[in-house]
């Protein structure tokens, strides 16, 4: 895995992503307009680019925190077993919380994290995923805001990796293996 030669076809340009992030941030800003301080929780590592762009478009007082989860290891298939490698630093009880994810695929990661965070009794708990692959869903979960619904292709870039590579691409592309 990762050794086989592949090419990356651009699916969503940096410009397209930026415009969508701006629109999502405007909706989220409206939704949380009355908050004292929104806790924005990014799921490492994949969400690091998206959360950085999203929080800079929010017109709200924001606290940024992270959880590190892992389900894929180095392969292309979800292990369906979500591990928490790093937990929140701050308290979220009674607070407004927005979970930020790069992609919802089988749904195991987001469902698991929302379940864990709900148990900490936040005032409001919402989620935003840049990408959603509804055709791959194994558990019923949907982000409150979705940037783009995409077909079942293996995607990379804008934080998303293939075997820990390509996270730094400024656009989102799909991986195509060469024969
Ligand atoms: C990827 C992606 C999502 C999750 C989605 O993370 O960033 O967090 O998988 O898959 P699911 O809906 O099937 O659970 P990964 O576990 O690869 O860790 P990473 O973010 O560090 O790349
Ligand atoms: Mn991830
Ligand atoms: Mg990954």
Distance 66 CA to ligand 1 centre (A): 14
Buried-exposed string 53-84: b where 16+ CB fall within 10 A, e elsewhere? bbbeebebebeeebbebbbbeeeeebeeebee
Please indicate, yes or no, if residue 93 is contained in any of the structural domains.
yes
Query: The complex's ipTM?
Result: 0.98
Please indicate, yes or no, if residue 127 is contained in any of the structural domains.
yes
Return the DSSP state at 159: T
Using one digit for the tens of pLDDT, what is the confidence trace for 62-109?
Answer: 999 999 988 755 556 666 789 899 999 999 999 999 999 999 999 999
pLDDT of residue 144 exceeding 60, the answer is: yes
Please indicate, yes or no, if residue 41 is contained in any of the structural domains.
yes
Ligand 1 atom at shortest distance from the alpha carbon of 68: 21
The CA distance from 29 to 150, in Å, is: 25
Using one digit for the tens of pLDDT, what is the confidence trace for 52-64?
Answer: 999 999 999 999 9
Please indicate, yes or no, if residue 61 is contained in any of the structural domains.
yes
Assess whether the C-beta atom of 71 lies below 6 angstroms from ligand 1. Answer: yes
Whichever domain contains 41, its CATH number is: 3.40.50.2020
Using one digit for the tens of pLDDT, what is the confidence trace for 125-136?
Answer: 999 999 999 999
Q: Would residue 73 be called left, alpha or beta, if left means φ above 0 and alpha means ψ between -120 and 50 degrees?
A: left
Structurally, the chain folds into a number of domains equal to 1
Name which residue leads in pLDDT, 83 or 110.
110
If one residue of 44, 77, 109 were mutated to test the ligand 1 pocket, choosing by the most ligand atoms within 8 A of its CB, it would be 109
Residue reference for tokens 């969400």:
47
Please indicate, yes or no, if residue 83 is contained in any of the structural domains.
yes
The CA distance from 101 to 118, in Å, is: 16
Please indicate, yes or no, if residue 1 is contained in any of the structural domains.
no
């Amino acid at each position: 895995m990762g050794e086989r030669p592949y090419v990356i076809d651009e699916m969503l340009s940096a410009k397209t992503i930026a415009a969508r992030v701006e629109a999502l941030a405007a909706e989220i800003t409206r939704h949380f307009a009355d908050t004292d301080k929104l806790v924005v929780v990014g799921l490492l590592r994949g969400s690091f680019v998206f959360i950085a762009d999203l929080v800079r478009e929010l017109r709200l007082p924001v606290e940024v925190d992270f959880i590190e989860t892992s389900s894929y290891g180095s392969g292309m298939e979800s292990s369906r077993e979500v591990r928490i490698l790093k937990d929140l630093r701050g308290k979220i009880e009674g607070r407004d919380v927005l979970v930020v994810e790069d992609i919802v695929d089988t749904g195991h990661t987001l469902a698991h994290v929302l379940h864990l965070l709900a148990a900490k009794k936040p005032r409001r708990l919402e989620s935003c995923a840049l990408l959603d692959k509804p055709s791959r869903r194994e558990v019923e979960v949907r982000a409150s805001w979705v940037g783009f619904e995409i077909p079942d292709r293996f995607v990379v870039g804008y934080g998303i990796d293939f075997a820990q590579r390509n996270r730094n691409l400024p656009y989102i592309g799909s991986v195509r293996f060469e024969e």
